[in-house]
């Protein structure tokens, strides 16, 4: 109601009559951004699993992405950029740098083994990707 009154003092009635409704946007809180980040992380991880890469994100890494991508003035766009640069680009570089030589190790027709990595923040503040040892196959 207060917004409507303010609009009447600023805009002419002819213009206001053309508006169907007024929507008031509130800035995102850090908790909102964290929830959005968790959803985005799941989307990225799901895509990577299809490519044969199991990804684990440390809580330190997730907190770093939320801190980097939190800007109440700009909404969720800085978060999307942070996820792209800190997670997607870093994993793409890792995958490209570690695929060299792996092709020669495989025999013709042999399936590419699944790989597992941990994404974390190093002591110097950079993003580090560490390959985890493959899980032993269960024998039943």
The tens digit of pLDDT for each residue in 41-57 reads 999 999 999 888 999 99
Q: Can you give the pLDDT at residue 105?
A: 56
Q: What is the sign, positive or negative, of the torsion defined by CA atoms of 26, 28, 29, 31?
A: positive
For residues 107 and 78, what is the distance between their CA atoms, to the nearest angstrom? 44
User: Given pLDDT bands bounded at 50, 70 and 90, which one contains residue 94?
Assistant: very high
Q: Can you give the pLDDT at residue 61?
A: 98
List the domains of the chain with CATH numbers: 27-103+111-132 (1.10.8.60)
Contact 54, 114 (CB under 8 A): yes
Residue 15, pLDDT > 90, answer: yes
Tokens of 122: 């190093």
For residues 49 and 64, what is the distance between their CA atoms, to the nearest angstrom? 23
User: Given pLDDT bands bounded at 50, 70 and 90, which one contains residue 133?
Assistant: confident
Contact 33, 79 (CB under 8 A): yes
If you search the block for the tokens 């002819």, which residue do you land on? 14
If you search the block for the tokens 């003092």, which residue do you land on? 9
Contact 52, 115 (CB under 8 A): yes
Residues 78-102, mean pLDDT to the nearest whole number: 88
User: Given pLDDT bands bounded at 50, 70 and 90, which one contains residue 25?
Assistant: confident
pTM over 0.85: no
């Amino acid at each position: 109601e207060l917004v409507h009154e303010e609009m009447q003092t600023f805009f002419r009635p002819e213009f206001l009559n053309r508006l169907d409704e007024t929507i008031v946007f509130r800035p995102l809180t850090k908790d909102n951004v964290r929830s959005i980040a968790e959803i985005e992380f799941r989307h990225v991880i799901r895509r990577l699993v299809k490519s044969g890469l199991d990804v684990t994100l440390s809580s330190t890494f997730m907190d770093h992405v939320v801190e980097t991508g939190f800007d109440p003035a700009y909404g969720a766009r800085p978060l999307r950029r942070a996820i792209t640069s800190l997670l997607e680009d870093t994993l793409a570089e890792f995958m490209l740098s570690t695929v060299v030589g792996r092709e020669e190790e495989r025999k013709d027709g042999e399936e590419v083994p699944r790989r597992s990595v941990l994404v974390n923040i190093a002591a110097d503040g950079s993003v580090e990707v560490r390959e985890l040892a493959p899980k032993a196959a269960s024998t039943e």
